[in-house]
Amino acid sequence: MQTPTLFALLLLLVLVAYGTGFTRAVTAARGSGGLRNLASLPGYYGLHTALWCGLPALLLLVAWIAFDDAIICAMVINSLADKPETISAQNLLWTQIQNVAAGNLFGEPEPQIAAAAEHLAALRDNSRLLKAGLTLILATGLGAFTLLRFSPQLRAREKVEKVLRWVLLACACAAIFTTIGILLSVLFESLRFFQAVPVSEFLFGLHWSPQMALRADQVGSSGAFGAVPLFTGTMMVTAIAMFVAVPVGLMSAIYLAEYAGRRVRAFAKPVLEILAGVPTVVYGFFAALTVAPFIRDAAAAVGLEASSESALAAGLVMGVMIIPFVSSLSDDVINAVPQSLRDGALGLGSTHSETVRKVVIPAALPGIVGGVLLAVSRAIGETMIVVMAAGLAANLTANPLDSVTTVTVQIVTLLVGDQEFDSPKTLAAFALGLMLFLTTLVLNFIALHVVKKYREQYD
């Protein structure tokens, strides 16, 4: 049975369970003289039955779908007479067996593989049957059991609410599971990477060329995984972006919060927010096709040589993207500075700009710093603009007109296309991902902490 049909069938069963539970309660109430003799409203009896019918079966079904392939794979591989030693060889064999089972034959398969493929097909058929059978039996069984246990004294509402509360808690924990998932996925692959490449070489090596040669005797066959050029590239692009975004964003926020009239504010604020809503791929296109050629021509006009993919183009456009981010965060903290501070400064005879520079900004500084840190973490993690406009060459350079590469660009280039999960080349992407995650995590943590602490001061 196909999975969507199974889901539909389960839904139907749940609806039937609700209906029966409901009518059961109503008939019972009618027999004993009115709804007031029930412990809960009839709808809750329906829900109670439906929950018992649907929830365990749904959990079983999802778990089955999630794990059946892995279990079948292990069963098939273990059933082989001479199974390969390494995990990668096992994976290769597994792909072969799957292909044979799916009928994608290239020539006559080895007898062992053909047998394994038959075994696989049989296991899959069994799994499909069992999945459908167990799910439906569990659903009907538990639903019927709940109906049998029905009595007017059953406190259905409380039971339903208890279950729902657990469901709500489980949803709230999704964030924790996501974080754990991210950590596990980058950590495990990174550890495997660091078995092949020492941590010190990765962190302090000056040469990055992750291409692995096909033959062992080829030139540069080992690949070099010194990530320093990536870190400097990321820092340079981020610095250029901040150089644009912080002054412009901060000054816009100050102007909007302190000087602008209501009409200017009502116009300018949403227009600036548009910049935050534009997808990054659009900025990337803009940077690669409009800004980069412009910079190249402008540099040529003053006698400088700029590459067609330059850190400057990517950084400038990224800065523009981050302007609304800085400005709205600064706007919030500037508005949170109590009016009494401004009144005091103005009363002592300072001009408006002196009030802003000497009183408002220092008072808002922690919040602004927090906002800037968040913006930095966003710039470090930004991907599409740099992928499209900063280039791929891992140059260790301080010249913003040169092309540089960043951590995110390398993650994308290493992982797009065919991957082998045992080559350091693919695993390197996860190590870079780990670095990226840790860096942004620390930045976010400090930033959120600073912002929160500051807010408490005036609340």
Partner 1 sequence: MTDLTQEQVRERIERRLAGRHRVEKTFRGLGIASIAFGILAVVILFSDIIAKGSGAFVQSAVQLEVHYDPAVLGIEQVDEESLTWANFTGVIREALRERFPEVSGRSEKRELYSLVSTGAPFKLRNRLQADPELLGRSETVWVAADDDVDTFVKSLSDSGGGFRGRTSDRMIRWIDQLLASGELKKRFNSNFFTNGDSREPEQAGIRAALVGSLLTLLVTLALSFPIGVAAAIYLEEYAPRNRWTDLIEVNINNLAAVPSIVFGLLGLAIFINFFELPRSAPLVGGLVLTLMTLPTIIISSRAALKSVPPSIREAAMGMGASRMQVVFHHVLPLAMPGMLTGTIIGMAQALGETAPLLMIGMVAFIVDVPGGVTDPATVLPVQIFLWADSPERAFVERTSAAIMVLLSFLIVMNTSAVWLRKKLERRW
Long-range CB pairs of 348-357 (<8 Å, 24+ gap) are 352/258, 352/259, 356/254, 356/258
The binding track of 373-412 with respect to partner 1, each residue x by CB under 8 A or -, is -x--xx-xxxxx--xx-------------------x--xx
The interaxial angle of helices 228-254 and 407-415, nearest 10 deg, is: 120
CB of 230 to partner 1, least distance (A): 14
Residues in 302-331 that interact with partner 1 by CB under 8 A: 320, 323-324, 327
- Name the phi and psi angles at 309, rounded to 5: -120, 105
Contact of 25 with 45, CB cutoff 8 Å: yes
Q: Assess 285 for contact with partner 1 (CB under 8 A).
A: yes
CA distances from 213 to 205, 221, 226, 409, 415 (A): 20, 5, 17, 21, 17
The rounded distance, in Å, linking the Cα atoms of 330 and 447 is 13
CB of 175 to partner 1, least distance (A): 4
- Compare residues 363 and 385 and give the one whose CB is closer to partner 1: 385
Contact of 242 with 319, CB cutoff 8 Å: yes
* Residue selected from 271, 301, 303, 347 as contacting partner 1 according to rule CB under 8 A: 271
Q: Assess 185 for contact with partner 1 (CB under 8 A).
A: yes
Q: Assess 421 for contact with partner 1 (CB under 8 A).
A: yes
Burial of 349 (0-12, 13-18, 19+ CB in 10 A): exposed
CB of 218 to partner 1, least distance (A): 28
The binding track of 228-257 with respect to partner 1, each residue x by CB under 8 A or -, is -------------------xxxxxx-xxx-
Residues in 329-358 that interact with partner 1 by CB under 8 A: 351-354, 356-357
- Compare residues 52 and 94 and give the one whose CB is closer to partner 1: 94
Contact of 207 with 190, CB cutoff 8 Å: no
CB of 29 to partner 1, least distance (A): 19
Count of residues of this chain found to bind partner 1 when the rule CB under 8 A is applied: 94
* Residue selected from 279, 302, 303, 340 as contacting partner 1 according to rule CB under 8 A: 279
Residues in 427-446 that interact with partner 1 by CB under 8 A: 429-430, 433, 436-437, 440-441, 444-445
Phi-psi region of 151 (alpha: psi -120 to 50; beta: other; left: phi over 0): beta
CB of 422 to partner 1, least distance (A): 12
The rounded distance, in Å, linking the Cα atoms of 197 and 187 is 15
* Residue selected from 135, 280, 310, 330 as contacting partner 1 according to rule CB under 8 A: 280
Q: Assess 259 for contact with partner 1 (CB under 8 A).
A: yes
CB of 439 to partner 1, least distance (A): 9
CB of 314 to partner 1, least distance (A): 14
CA distances from 250 to 81, 100, 366, 369 (A): 69, 62, 13, 11
CA distances from 316 to 21, 136, 331 (A): 64, 59, 22
CB of 179 to partner 1, least distance (A): 5
Tokens 């800085």 locate to 326
* Residue selected from 290, 308, 335, 457 as contacting partner 1 according to rule CB under 8 A: 290
Residues in 108-147 that interact with partner 1 by CB under 8 A: none
CB of 115 to partner 1, least distance (A): 22
